[in-house]
Amino acid sequence: MTLSSRDAAGWLPLLAVVFSLSACGGGGNSSGSGGPPPPPAPPPPSGLSYTSPQSYDVGTAITPLDPTVTGTVTSYSVAPALPAGLSLDAATGRISGTPTQPARATYTITATNAGGNTTFALAIAVLGDRTTTDRADEQSGRQVHVVYVIPSDGVDEHLDQSATLDTSLKIANEWLKAQTGGKGLRLDTHGGGKIDVTFLKLPKTDAEMNAAGGNVRTNLEYLLLANGFDSVDKVYLVYYGGDGDGCGRGAWPPTLHGNVGALYVGAASGCVTQPYAASGQPPGFLEYLAVHEVLHVLGFVAPCAPHQWDSGHVSDSAQDIMYSGAQAWQPSTLDVNHDDYYGSAVPGCRDLANSALLDPLPAGAEAPAGWPYVNLTDLVCTNEPTTTPGPAGIDTQVMFVNTYTVAGVPSAITIWERTLNPTTGLYQRTFVREVAYLSGFAAPAKENAVFTVTVNGGCVRLVRASANPSRFLVKN
């Protein structure tokens, strides 16, 4: 059949539709979505790093800290939150700002893209003010004062400035309150509840502190007195940035007089691997150890306690905070079964529930045995010929610490006790001990005993022992 030109034109649109349908027919799109396949995910970023550790000062804007990273990063995040006043730019990873509060932690920075992520542990310390003296007390009475001490060759970890000790001790005290129904240690505070921590750098090396039989705690007691830490109402809890005999030691009155408990937290100490608890965390080894050593200084566990052994420890449970024994220490409880030192009601045995170092103070609060210590006064050497002992009273102790110099040169001192010569009927000097400069000695004595301190044979000080344990700093 022959089509006219008009008829042929009429068929053209129909043919176009037929051919179009034929082009769209046949098997369909391989993606099944009507579009091109998605691009492959990029490789995850890698090699994230910042310059670490970082140390900043409260109130001073930091130099912005930028990351180094390989690959594409679509976002950055951090956990836990950076110190107050610092911020992380989620797009660039830059850290900037002005820190407003002390802090010390390791912060995990994460760099992410569609292919994955990479992380970096950034250590930041924000340092606040430092004091080398005991600040004015916010409360009166007996309390625990904290001192961060490093030897002359020690590494300053700034535990006092970074809120590390403040946070750790508050966590420890909250644990104690939970155990006692609300009573914690009376911690020395300042600035509206911040724990008062004093910094002290010693003139002795760590090796010199460990030289005298390894009794670092006793040497700390001497040097704290030499530096003016002589309150008769305070326990001094020392964090010593050096080595020691074990992880810590504490006085144990009345068997071992003193008011210093120490934790050995220096780089050479076995305790250095133990972390301090951070805000929001439960107590750990160092928090329990701090309470443990303070309780020793308060005289617990007393010899009259049923399970007391090993000079102030208990033997009945490794979960007891005062345990010492063959089992691994796993502290979680204050006086398991309440039968030794807290709520134990052992006749004639001091009980922590009645301690004058608790806050709030219990009714009829008791000081540790032998307290208060007495800071002796000089009776003046010109009175030596007429100053005689006694009557002899109870057994006691006098601690002598030497900071005496001659023309600016450190000098040894010699301690003598004035005793009666039965042959002549006259009082004489009886040699007790020579004490080197910046060293000390605790002399057993009877109440009312009289001691003469000499330098190069000449009397420089004269003291009389009191009934309670006493202390005397021999200085110019």
* pLDDT computed for residue 213 by the predictor: 66
Longest dimension (CA), the chain: 164
Give me the helix-helix angle, 164-180 and 285-297, nearest 10°: 70
Question: CA 160, 166, 168 angle in degrees (round to 5)?
Answer: 110
* pLDDT computed for residue 268 by the predictor: 65
CA distance 86 to 62: 9
Mean pLDDT, the chain, as a whole number? 91
pLDDT at 23 over 60: no
**pLDDT tens sequence across 310-331:** 999 999 999 999 999 999 999 9
Going from the C-alpha of 206 to that of each of 89, 154, 233, 308, 345, the distances in angstroms are 44, 7, 28, 32, 42
Identify the residue with better confidence: 38 or 134: 134
Number of H helices, E strands in the chain: 5, 29
CA distance 40 to 408: 79
> pTM of this prediction?
0.87
Other beta carbons less than 10 A from residue 187's beta carbon = 25
Q: Secondary structure of 219-240 in the HEC alphabet?
A: HHHHHHHHCCCCCCCEEEEEEE
Question: Per-residue pLDDT averaged across 209-223, rounded?
Answer: 89
* pLDDT computed for residue 359 by the predictor: 96
- Estimate to the nearest angstrom the gap between the alpha carbon of 58 and the chain centroid: 20
- Estimate to the nearest angstrom the gap between the alpha carbon of 327 and the chain centroid: 25
Contact indicator for 198, 131 with CB cutoff of 8 Å: yes
CA distance 380 to 384: 7
- Pick the closest to residue 127 from 67, 53, 200, 36 (CA basis): 53
CA distance 18 to 12: 10
**pLDDT tens sequence across 149-162:** 999 999 999 999 99
Instruction: Report the half-sphere exposure of 442 (CA within 13 A, side-chain side).
Output: 15
CA distance 348 to 353: 14
**pLDDT tens sequence across 376-414:** 999 999 999 999 998 999 999 999 999 999 999 999 999
CA distance 460 to 476: 9
Residue bearing tokens 């799109």: 29
Lowest mean per-residue pLDDT among 199-203, 368-372, 397-401, 402-406: 368-372
Beta strands in 276-382 (DSSP E): 308-309, 313-314, 358-359, 374-375
Instruction: Report the half-sphere exposure of 146 (CA within 13 A, side-chain side).
Output: 27
Question: Per-residue pLDDT averaged across 140-153, rounded?
Answer: 97
What percentage of the chain exceeds 90 in pLDDT? 86
Judge if the upstream peptide bond of residue 27 is cis by omega within 30 degrees of 0. Answer: yes
- Pick the closest to residue 258 from 225, 289, 284, 288 (CA basis): 225
CA distance 358 to 181: 12
Tokens (6 digits) for 319: 């979960």
CA distance 212 to 220: 12
Contact indicator for 461, 365 with CB cutoff of 8 Å: no
Contact indicator for 72, 45 with CB cutoff of 8 Å: yes
Residue bearing tokens 């002005």: 98
pLDDT at 7 over 50: no
pLDDT at 20 over 70: no
| Partners of residue 189 on adjacent β-strands | 195
Question: Per-residue pLDDT averaged across 173-192, rounded?
Answer: 97
**Distance between the two ends of the chain, CA-based, in angstroms?**
138
Q: How confident is the model at residue 10 (pLDDT cuts 50, 70, 90)?
A: very low
CA distance 394 to 368: 18
Tokens (6 digits) for 284: 């750990």
pLDDT at 9 over 70: no
Which domains are seen in the chain, by residue range?
46-127 (2.60.40.10), 143-300+350-359 (3.40.390), 374-474 (2.60.40.780)
* pLDDT computed for residue 34 by the predictor: 62
* pLDDT computed for residue 24 by the predictor: 34
* pLDDT computed for residue 413 by the predictor: 98
**pLDDT tens sequence across 241-295:** 999 988 999 999 999 999 999 999 987 676 778 899 998 999 999 999 999 999 9
pLDDT at 375 over 90: yes
Going from the C-alpha of 392 to that of each of 182, 395, 426, 465, 472, the distances in angstroms are 44, 9, 17, 10, 20
**pLDDT tens sequence across 407-459:** 999 999 999 999 999 999 999 999 999 999 999 999 999 999 999 999 999 99
**pLDDT tens sequence across 41-100:** 899 999 999 999 999 999 999 999 999 999 999 999 999 999 999 999 999 999 999 999
pLDDT at 301 over 60: yes
Other beta carbons less than 10 A from residue 331's beta carbon = 21
Q: How confident is the model at residue 122 (pLDDT cuts 50, 70, 90)?
A: very high
CA distance 434 to 454: 9
Identity of the residue numbered 326: A
Q: Which residues neighbour 178 within 8 Å (Cβ) at sequence distance 6 or greater?
A: none
pLDDT at 31 over 60: no
- Pick the closest to residue 72 from 34, 101, 107, 45 (CA basis): 45
